[in-house]
Structure 1
Amino acid sequence: MGSLFEELEAREAAARTRVESLEAELAEVSGKLGAAREGLERLRIARETVAEVLAEMTPQGSAVPVESREASAGEGVAAAYAGAERRVIGVLTVPNWQPGMGADVLPSVYRDIVEVVADAPGPVRAKQIVPRIGLPAETGKIEGTRSKLKRLVERGWLDEDAPGLFTPARRRTGSSSNSR
């Protein structure tokens, strides 16, 4: 019978090793689960905070999309940000150009850029605009300004005749205007 007890002890040792291995895996997975739960909680809090901020915003200047300005103040904000608890809605700071719109609806830095481009004798590059709007001619400032120029082109305020060369927008008539 000695061999039967030895076999049982061997099986018990193997089972103990397997249990210890599974417990170690469980501890690792539990740690990963805890980290994932923490990340999920941070995202939930961020979403709720953004929804609260958006719900509290009032229509001032161009911070609220054009569509919501047409409604009454309270209803416009509520309509513009309805469902913010489910999805993030960006705030449109540079509206699409529409007939009758002046540069005064743009945020000040964008307005300055449009004015510099309009005053230039020909097409201008971002590195030429940066010092004229009061920024140091550093790579980061030039790239940021280039990004703003591209946004102004996308929204119909400026044209980009050749890559990197910006001019005031030549307004198109009919349905082809601002179809980018």
Structure 2
Amino acid sequence: MASVLGLLEAKASTAREAVERARGEAARIAAMLEEAERVLERLIIAREAVVEVLAEPAGRTVDVVEDNVVAAAMTGSPVPCQNGQLTRAVLAPDYQRIISVLETEAAAGRDQARAKDLATALGLDAVPAKIEGVRSRAKRLAERGWITRHRSGEFSILTA
């Protein structure tokens, strides 16, 4: 009978150690969660500040900032829908550069450009990851009315 009690005591000791390890792990995870919540709170505050700045562009040369710019900022979209009243200044710099490259290409007599050509003109390596990133941005610009996407997969500046 003593050996059964000894085995039970050994199992209880092992279980206590497991409980202590789990409590230590839970404390570590709680600390990680607390830090993640602090980071999230800072990001939410930053996002609110950006929405506020976009809603009231004091000192900027943007003619009209429509509600869709604020809505785009709230949804996390870097490209608001072009309604004919927005200037390029409301776009993130990467998107502005794509439009500039397309304007340069059009001025040089090349009306359309592929994503690979855009990536190269932007100074990026012509590797699939970079090309696809440029293609994704260009498609977003086209979907929101800033540029034209052709069936051939090429992009160009909107023509009046």
Aligned counterparts of 1:153 and 1:24: Cα–Cα separation in 2: 63
Between Structure 1 and Structure 2, the one with more helix by share is 2
Q: Structure 2 residue aligned with 1:16, among 6, 14, 20?
A: 6
Aligned counterparts of 1:148 and 1:102: Cα–Cα separation in 2: 17
Tell me, which stretches of 5 or more residues in structure 1 are unaligned? 1-7, 73-79, 81-88, 172-180
Q: Structure 2 residue aligned with 1:42, among 23, 32, 36?
A: 32
Amino acid at match of 1:108: P
Amino acid at match of 1:136: D
TM normalised by structure 2 equals 0.61
Amino acid at match of 2:120: P
Tell me, which stretches of 5 or more residues in structure 2 are unaligned? 59-69
TM normalised by structure 1 equals 0.56
User: CA contact under 8 A between 1:65 and 1:91: conserved in structure 2?
Assistant: no
| Aligned-CA RMSD value | 3.8
Deviations 1:107-165 (A, max 9, x none): 22210112323544444322110111222323332232233224334444344444843
Change (3 A) 1:99 1:29: farther
How many residue pairs get matched?
Answer: 142
Q: Structure 1 residue aligned with 2:87, among 70, 94, 102?
A: 102
Aligned counterparts of 1:17 and 1:55: Cα–Cα separation in 2: 57
Off by >6 Å, runs of 4+ in structure 1: none
* Alpha-carbon shift at residue 100 of structure 1 (Å): 0.7
Q: Structure 2 residue aligned with 1:152, among 118, 141, 146?
A: 141
Corresponding residue for residue 69 of structure 1:
55
Aligned counterparts of 1:116 and 1:95: Cα–Cα separation in 2: 20
Q: Structure 2 residue aligned with 1:132, among 114, 118, 121?
A: 121
User: CA contact under 8 A between 1:65 and 1:95: conserved in structure 2?
Assistant: no
**Structure with higher RCO (Cα < 8 A, 6+ apart):** 2
- 1:39 is paired with a residue whose SS is helix
